[in-house]
Amino acid sequence: MAYTKRTDGRKFDELREMEAKVGIIKSADGSAMFRVGKTIAIAAVRGPRDLYPKFKQDSQKGVLRCNYDLMSFSVTERKRPGPSRRSQEISLVTEKALLPVLELDNFPNAVVDVFITIVQADAGTRCAGINAASLALADAGIPMKDLVCAVATGIINEDKVIVDVNKEEEDLEGGLADTPMAILPRSGEVTLLQMDGEASKEEILESIKLGKRACEQIYRVQRDALKERYGGMKDAAD
């Protein structure tokens, strides 16, 4: 069946409503919340601190470790608590998406830990996690070349690209080529590009084009959150 109208009434290239807040967890060195529609991600950063066991240290630069966790209460169907192949994969791609912006040369033998917790899931959780983590790293004062913005697009009706896919759309009969991506807003560099489904080269290029546009909006929400916390404040660490 042709998908002519989105299930939640959005335009094909429209993102869900977004919200971001920085500095939400006092016990962490940096933290942030990023919400898109009903998907809510929380990220907390610990570090830089000495990495143990010592054989894991890099004497040239700090090491980034990401841990993604989808809470069992975040989804409607039962999800077994604890790590899974899925969470390991998402932790790994998140690390790769964030690493290019981090300047870890000043932190030899250290580790920066990023803990991403999904408290409510309605698709796009890896992207929301990356958006939150990028803000939490900035909040922790880790030197960064740029923020990282992430969104998932989907290809539907064979050629139509939709932006910021929700779970209902992901589950549509006939399938959808789900394409999460992370983009550095200033350089346009793509640091994450995954695809689940089938698509032509043209469809993938169109997805990236619309994803980049969506990331400009995400970047604005992220910058506003940082401004809200740090703009005009003398002591940002309180």
Beta carbons of 64 and 57 less than 8 angstroms apart: no
122 is a contact residue toward ligand CDP (CB under 6 A): yes
Which one of 21, 49, 61, 167 is in contact with ligand CDP (CB under 6 A)?
167
Least distance (Å) from ligand CDP to the CB of residue 112?
22
Least distance (Å) from ligand CDP to the CB of residue 84?
7
Give the whole-angstrom CA distance, residue 235 versus residue 33. Answer: 21
Least distance (Å) from ligand CDP to the CB of residue 128?
8
Residue number with CB closer to ligand CDP (53 or 82):
82
Segment 57-86, which members bind ligand CDP (CB under 6 A)? Answer: 70, 75, 77, 79, 86
Least distance (Å) from ligand CDP to the CB of residue 1?
22
Residue number with CB closer to ligand CDP (28 or 128):
128
Give the whole-angstrom CA distance, residue 190 versus residue 205. Answer: 12
* Residue given tokens 């998908």 in the structure block: 3
Q: Which of 49, 50, 32, 28 is nearest to 41 (CA)?
A: 32
What H or E segment, with its residue span, contains residue 227? helix 201-230
124 is a contact residue toward ligand CDP (CB under 6 A): yes
173 is a contact residue toward ligand CDP (CB under 6 A): no
In the chain, what is the straight-line distance between the N-terminal and C-terminal CA atoms, in Å?
54
Question: Per CB under 6 A, which region of 118-126, 133-141, 181-189, 228-236 contacts ligand CDP?
Answer: 118-126
Least distance (Å) from ligand CDP to the CB of residue 144?
23
- Other residues' Cβ atoms within 10 Å of the Cβ of residue 150: 29
Who contacts 209 (Cβ-Cβ below 8 Å, separation ≥6)?
Answer: none
Residue number with CB closer to ligand CDP (108 or 175):
175
Residue number with CB closer to ligand CDP (33 or 121):
121
Residue 50: how many CA atoms within 13 Å on its side-chain side? 4
**DSSP E strand boundaries for 37-130:** 39-50, 63-70, 110-120
**Residues forming the site for ligand CDP (CB under 6 A):** 70, 75, 77, 79, 86, 121-126, 152, 167, 170, 178, 180
